[in-house]
């Protein structure tokens, strides 16, 4: 029997790569805005007064150019989240959205630097978001951890400040590098990642998604692993094309967070089978499937991503199980929580 969307929705899942701001459905943004008497605005101060207007703004002149202008495109969302109460509400709403997808454990990520316009420090921002995640976790029964991201258009020194805020907050499990990849290669952030790793944080790096050329994408994955000590890499769209890189990923036990629908919508691939998920699984690469920005992509919710992957690759329960198992093993959860998740998962997949 092929796996149906409703069957996939019911199975316990894990999301390792989702941006909190890109996971909040626009209807939730309006609920939050109303509750705290805020408006949803463009960088020019124009009010966006409907779900359609928000989606139209985020999409801009097309998804293909989104990554290059990602900070602006997300502005209506990040600009709303500038106070402790709104950040907390957003954190809780993120957990709710994961709960609705049958996710049992999620690692939500966000970049605190876009939330300090009204005077909060990055530590305050991280603490408020962590509080919201905790509240949501209690309410919806989803286990969560927080990943703090650096927007890579920043200077190296600013990246270190973000890493320090993540460390000092004691609320984050890992440091991430996100934002526009073209012209912002990972090497600029070597010190930031050294600082985070020395303080006991884990690391994940967006690499090989939108660097501009296949060569630069592959180079960024290699740099993320060799220079930044990345425990995981996000996207790694062309990984399957380089056998030496596949060998490096395996040798260093790097977990790959793939985001198939995101790559398709942003036109980083022309078809889902370009990612070579079947080949990577066969080569025993620790590859996982994730949602990235599920509220912003058409048919981009995690269950829909899995359903599309299963359809294109002809995956059945066995392969789906492997992918979810990789997500659990590759997560930054405690060993105890991983064991619990693996147990729940194996009984559900029987």
Q: How far is the C-alpha of 14 from the C-alpha of 283, rounded, in Å?
A: 22
Q: In the window 265-294, what residues touch Zn ion (CB under 5 A)?
A: 292
Q: Which is nearer to Zn ion, 103 or 120 (CB)?
A: 103
User: HSE (CB half, 13 Å, CA atoms) of 162?
Assistant: 30
Minimum Å gap between C-beta 23 and Zn ion is 11
Q: Which of residues 184-243 bind Zn ion (CB under 5 A)?
A: none
Least distance CB 149 / Zn ion (angstroms):
8
Residue 21 CB, shortest distance to Zn ion, in Å, is 11
Distance CA 18, CA 292 (A): 4
Locate 64 and state its tokens: 């293909």
Q: Two tokens at 145?
A: 């951890």
Nearest to 235 by CA among 212, 204, 203: 204
Nearest CB to Zn ion, comparing residues 120 and 237: 237
Q: For the segment 284-343, give every residue that binds Zn ion (CB under 5 A).
A: 292
Closest to Zn ion by CB, 101 vs 292, is 292
Q: Which is nearer to Zn ion, 25 or 179 (CB)?
A: 179
Q: Give exposure, 123-143, as e/b (b: 16+ Cβ within 10 Å).
A: bbbbbbbbbbbbebbeebebb
Q: Between residues 13 and 152, which has the closer beta carbon with respect to Zn ion?
A: 152
CB of 14 to Zn ion, least distance (A): 16
Using CB atoms, what's the residue nearest to Zn ion?
292
Least separation in angstroms between residue 235's CB and Zn ion is 7
Report the sign of the C-alpha dihedral through residues 113, 117, 121, 124, in that order.
negative
Q: Where does this chain bind Zn ion (CB under 5 A)?
A: 292
């Amino acid at each position: 029997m092929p796996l149906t969307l409703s069957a996939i929705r019911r199975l316990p899942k894990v999301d390792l790569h989702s941006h909190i701001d890109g996971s909040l459905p626009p209807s939730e943004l309006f609920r939050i805005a109303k509750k705290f008497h805020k408006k949803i605005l463009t960088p020019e101060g124009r009010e966006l007064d409907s779900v359609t207007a928000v989606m139209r703004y985020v999409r801009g002149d097309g998804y293909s150019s989104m990554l290059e202008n990602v900070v602006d495109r997300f502005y209506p969302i990040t600009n709303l989240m500038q106070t402790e109460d709104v950040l907390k509400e957003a954190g809780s709403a993120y957990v709710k959205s994961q709960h609705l997808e049958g996710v049992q454990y999620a690692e939500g990520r966000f970049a605190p630097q876009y939330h300090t316009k009204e005077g909060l420090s990055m530590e305050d921002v991280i603490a408020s978001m962590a509080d919201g995640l905790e509240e949501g976790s209690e309410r919806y029964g989803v286990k969560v951890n927080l990943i703090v991201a650096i927007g890579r258009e920043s200077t190296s020194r600013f990246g270190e400040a973000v890493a320090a805020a993540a460390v000092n907050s004691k609320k984050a499990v890992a440091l991430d590098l996100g934002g526009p990849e073209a012209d912002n290669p990972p090497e600029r952030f070597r010190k930031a990642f050294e600082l985070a790793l020395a303080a006991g944080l884990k690391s994940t790096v967006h690499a090989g998604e939108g660097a501009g050329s296949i060569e630069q994408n592959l180079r960024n994955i290699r740099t993320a692993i060799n220079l930044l000590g990345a425990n995981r890499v996000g996207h790694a769209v062309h990984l399957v094309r380089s056998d030496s890189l596949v060998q490096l990923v395996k040798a260093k036990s790097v977990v790959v967070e793939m985001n198939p629908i995101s790559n398709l919508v942003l036109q980083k691939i022309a078809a889902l089978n370009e990612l070579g998920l079947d080949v990577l699984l066969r080569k025993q690469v620790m590859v996982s499937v994730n949602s990235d920005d599920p509220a912003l992509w058409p048919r981009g919710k995690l269950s829909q991503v899995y359903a599309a992957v299963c359809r294109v690759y002809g995956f059945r329960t066995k392969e789906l199980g492997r992918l979810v198992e990789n997500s659990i093993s590759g997560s930054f959860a405690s060993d105890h929580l991983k064991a619990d998740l693996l147990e729940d998962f194996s009984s559900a997949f029987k």
